[in-house]
Amino acid sequence: MKEAELNRIRADFPNLGCQVHGHPLAYLDNAATTMKPRQVIEAITNHYRAETANVHRGLHHLSVLATKKYEGAREKVVRFINAGSEQEIIFTRGTTEAINLAASSYGGHLLKPGDEILVSQMEHHSNIVPWQLVCQSRGLRLKVIPMDESGQLRLDRFRELLTERVRLVALVYTSNALGTINPVEQIIEEAHGMGAVVLLDAAQTIAHLEVDVQELDCDFLAFSGHKMFGPTGIGVLYGKENLLEQMPPYQGGGEMISQVTFAKTTYNALPYKFEAGTPPIAQAIGLGAAIDYIESIGFAQISEHEELLRVHASAQLARIPGLRIIGTAARKAAICAFSLEEIHPHDLGTFLDQRGIAVRTGHHCAQPVLDFFGLPATTRASFSVYNSLQEVDLLAAAIEEARSFFL
């Protein structure tokens, strides 16, 4: 990406102009959450300033306007991931609730005792715990696809585990702890060949790679707005319409009903059957603005720039004595997790923060990954389209400085 274009993009993000402990902010914690561009901030602010109202059943002008913006955001999601229709897009609070919805409503009602669910060893906790809960309540079995030392899935073991008893495969598209981009197309095809449905956790993919649910042929897909330049408190569960039609409601209350009596309740049509209560109106509008923003840059430019950052960061970090990169898969996102000799990641993270560099330390809500590598925690730098090569160099130089300070 040319410097002028990068500067233009960076100018859209007010937070990037912050000073932290007297240093310009180098924000390298994008896998946790992304910064928000002014276009998203303004869309949310404008809703609260000029069009605040509840949606759907209101007949007055503001309600009609808010409904149009809210449902317009759903239409944008349909286009963005190439879903079949608006009926397949359920607004949730984020990836975690989207997976919990699928686990509770599909897993908890349509799977039978003795059925098996496959997850991978590199899953985020939000794609492990909901399936554990449904397994405990329904008498299902949870099995784990192992990975190798590079952080790649063992496809040979996946095929051994994929028997006719497996009814669902829940898989992360891109690992938040390793950066591994899984071969989801191949896994979906093979799972479908055995009659299993597939849920993809696309939280770490949605802002970095073009996702086409019809081309992937996934059955469910979950992602969050706050990891794609949108607000917190909004996410999406995509589900194939025929599956969503079979699933009972996840929560009860207003909006998800068609008619209520004390004797019986009939449920609303899709997607509203799964959207009980007042929805996240401003957040959905912000998500729509975030989609507009991503599309204005284009995935070709985003992918090219982030790959440049990943390659440069990997090379710079690999030169630091005692530094071990965790996750060296052949196909990776712009995520670099590492350990550094005897320096605890929390100490390193604090040291970097004092120099204005924001990274993430800990187990990244993926404790089984850290257990596999025999580590209590790692330091993770994760990049987005607004990051620069100079910020990568600052990171590497600060890590070298930390080595001299601690060792």
Is 365 annotated in the active site? yes
Pick from 80, 73, 38: nearest CA to 234: 73
Task: Report which secondary-structure segment, H or E, holds 71.
Answer: helix 61-81
Backbone conformation region of residue 98, classed left if phi is above 0, alpha if psi is from -120 to 50, else beta: alpha
Q: Is 291 helix (H, G, I), strand (E, B) or coil?
A: helix
Compute the distance between CA of residue 297 and CA of residue 5 in angstroms, rounded to an integer: 10
Size (the chain), residues: 407
CA–CA separation, 220 vs 198, rounded Å? 6
Nearest Cα to 202, choosing from 229, 183, 221? 221
Pairing of β 360-362 and β 378-382? antiparallel
Instruction: From 242, 218, 212, select the one nearest 170 (Cα to Cα).
Output: 218
Q: At what angle do helices 299-318 and 281-297 cross, to 10 degrees?
A: 80
Contact 145, 385 (CB under 8 A): no
How far from chain centre, in Å, is Cα 234? 11
Amino acid at 260: V
For strand 235-239 and strand 220-224, is the pairing parallel, antiparallel, or unpaired? Answer: antiparallel
Token pair recorded at residue 361: 């330390």
Nearest-angstrom CA–CA distance, 55 and 70: 8
DSSP 306-359: HHHHHHHHHHHHHTSTTEEEE---SSB-SEEEEEETTB-HHHHHHHHHTTTEE-
Q: CA distances (Å), 94 to each of 254, 335, 385, in order?
A: 20, 21, 22
Q: In this structure, what token pair is assigned to residue 308?
A: 């440049």
Residue in the block written with tokens 């580590």: 375
From 18, 135, 218, 365, active-site residue: 365
Q: How far apart are CA 358 and CA 337, in angstroms?
A: 13
Catalytic (active-site) positions: 365
